[in-house]
Amino acid sequence: MHPTTDNRPALLLAMGPGVDDRLFTEAHRARLAALTRTDPRLVAHDLTAPDARTAAALAEAELLLTCWGATPLTAEVLDRAPRLRAVVHAAGSVKHHVTDACWERGLRVTSAAAANALPVAEYTLAAILFAGKRVLRSAQRYAELRTDHAWLEESTGWGNHRRTVGIVGASRIGRRVIDLLAPFDFEILLYDPYVETPPPGTELVGLDELCARSTVVSVHAPQLPSTYRMIGAAQLAAMPDGTTLINTSRGSLVDEPSLLPHLLTGRLHAILDVTDPELPPPGSPLYTLPNVLLTPHVAGSLGNELHRMAEQAVGEVERYVRGEAFAEEVRASDLTRSA
């Protein structure tokens, strides 16, 4: 009797401490164990100085399944992984850990950015609808008054009927927001310099025109040198009084020093899930302004939404094992204009 050869590819999990417990269900771990040769409880937190067990697993790995906190895959790290063929990232951007060395060695890369786009788009949809109804302001006023009030008189100009929404960036998230807005009675403007044919139901315009015509401006462009503070002083000044600026992308895309005066006077409103810096200083007025809703970068996947990213990543592992193309392959050229 000859021993049975196990031809399944070896897989190693690589991510920050505790991330795997939030990311995977037991069903996900069981699927990975069935598809690959892996220890679903071995998670590499540091590939730059791995312990003996992790180093042995890395040396055998044909697949790395990564998530937040993964070690950057430098040439030195890749030298310890001579059999590595693909990186499956169970989160959004791969820019934090996929280096030039990965592309030089011909590694295939895939990410769960599409799965992570949905909760961001859902957050944005809720923000747009609440902005039109002035939910934040009316809740504050209700708490102050605690009595009957002439809400119809105060609410002139509120509402979502035929409101103009400007979407900055036809990214995965931006397009998902446009899809979610389709059932509602909005006029949708889109700015994206790489788009020639806009999605159905949208009007493609320049950035300045979008800001001047929109009563809600939602930012979904990637963080690139070319997008730094793209919503600047001129764009903010062009926004009509009462416009709500929503940013779920990166704080650096908005010129916050130019935005603050508009917020302090109450001329503009803002819903900010990201800021620059990422954590505003303790004395920042963003925490207390009545026309600002500030959230701690929670629009993306959290809680049970992480399981959606795990599901997509495990599906990509399954495609690899079957010899199929990745459904969401990432190429080096994509990163010059995406997150």
Catalytic residue annotation: 250, 278, 297
Q: How far apart are CA 121 and CA 304, in angstroms?
A: 16
Give the pair of three-digit tokens for residue 314: 């495990």
Q: How far apart are CA 305 and CA 119, in angstroms?
A: 8
Find the Cα–Cα–Cα–Cα dihedral 246, 137, 259, 286, rounded to 10°. -90
How far is CA 16 from each of CA 68, 96, 164, rounded to the nearest angstrom?
Answer: 6, 13, 41
Find the Cα–Cα–Cα–Cα dihedral 99, 103, 108, 112, rounded to 10°. 40
Cis peptide before 277 (omega within 30 of 0): yes
H-state helical runs in the chain: 19-23, 26-35, 52-60, 75-79, 100-104, 113-132, 135-145, 151-154, 172-181, 207-213, 233-238, 256-264, 306-321
Q: How far apart are CA 301 and CA 118, in angstroms?
A: 8
Closest to 296 in 3D by CA, of 270, 260, 272, 268: 272
Q: How far apart are CA 35 and CA 28, in angstroms?
A: 11
